A and B are shown apart, each in its own frame.
Chain A
Amino acid sequence: MEEAYDCCFSIATMITIFLLVVVIRVVYVFYRTGKPLSSKSSKPRSTLIVLGSGGHTAEMINVLSVMQKARFTPRFYIAAATDNMSLQKARVLEDSLADEDKKVPAEFMQIYRSREVGQSYITSIGTTLIAIAHALWLMLRIRPEVILCNGPGTCVPLCVIAFLFKVVGIRWSTIFYIESIARVKKLSLSGLLLYKLRIADQFFVQWPQLQRKYTRSQYVGCLM
């Protein structure tokens, strides 16, 4: 009787300690997120660039074209499986680079979307699960040190997975979110989620009135 009680007690203690460790770790990750990295080095960092349709990609290409590519190497591009245009634009950019900036060739990947426009909600449960598994698989392969995203819905699961990787200790990714220039008064849903969940390390907006409303964001002027 006493032994069983002891056993239960020790299991309960272990679970408590485990949960405590997890909570402390999560708190630590939240505390460190948003703080600049302390190391001062020029060591290149593997970079994941999440592309979206239409204006999103044009804005991202503008950012990439002035970036010192040698610092953000190797580069991985992800776009939705239904979107061929965006990866094509990224390929054009990568092809135009000087040889030293593409010593390590960039990789281009497509990701399943959780829900296509017009898809029913019931079938979207299944497709969402597939999309999450696929995102997890891609993130395990890439394990990026830097994530650049600017608003397509596909960036949310990828950023959440990156956050979990930080907690578990698989990889410390620094997440930069640049809200689209099309958002003047309100954040996009993706932006709002990453802002409220405090997942993005740095949150950039392109209009001053948006910065005043979301005070943890930084105003960087228009990219277009």
Chain B
Amino acid sequence: MGWQCGLKLQMGEIEQKRKTVFVTVGTTLFDALVKAVDTEQVKHELQRRGYTHLLIQIGRGSYIPDKCEGEGGSLGVDYFTFSSSIAEHLRSASLVISHAGSGSIFETLRLGKPLIVVVNEDLMDNHQSELAEELAERKHLYCAHPQTLLETIADMNLESLLPYPAGDAKPVINLINRFLGFPDD
């Protein structure tokens, strides 16, 4: 009985100590991001910062990262292509590294998770960086490019990030109502 209890306690401790970095490329692909995360330097830096696991959603990308069990103190690495439970992965993550799509950005911010957005420079109409840069300026997240991800992770100070206030559609609805001549509530 005693040893079982001890084992459970130990397991609990391990669970507590599990700090996962969740990487997501969204509905398409972003090999440059997966490659950047899968480098020894980045993995080493993440581990130095106390993260224990790296989970990568690679989408339709062709670059496959190396899986690693994470035994003997090394960073555990796992990946998958798509999943219907992205929200679950976001919720259990300690740090999120995401593509610059507004859906992923706001879902992560709403959960109050620290976020690094990596801008895909290969996209034709690259308006996506606008949103990430604006939110980075307002200190809600960090904005990086695949080649600056290592620096961003090394220099980031998660304490300095500010929580993102929830959006509000009331003002726009009030304007629409007034314009159409609907009486005020």
Contacts and interface: CB of A to CB of B under 8 A. Distances in A.
B182 A224 contact: no
Interface string B129-168: 0110110000000000000000000000000000000011
Interface string B25-50: 00100000000000000000000000
Contacts of A182: 102, 127-128, 130-131
B181 A40 contact: yes
Interface stretch (B15-23, B60-68, B72-80, B171-179): B171-179
Contacts of A40: 181, 183
Contacts of B177: 68, 71
Interface residues of A, number: 42
Contacts of B27: 54
Interface in A44-75: 45, 54-55, 58-59, 62-63, 65-68, 71
Contacts of A201: 179
Interface string A177-208: 01011111110100000000000011010010
A218 B133 CA distance: 22
A120 interface: no
A63 B172 contact: yes
B6 interface: no
A22 to B, nearest CB: 27
A39 interface: yes
A163 interface: no
A92 interface: no
8 contacts: A36-B180, A37-B179, A38-B181, A63-B173, A68-B173, A218-B175, A220-B172, A222-B167
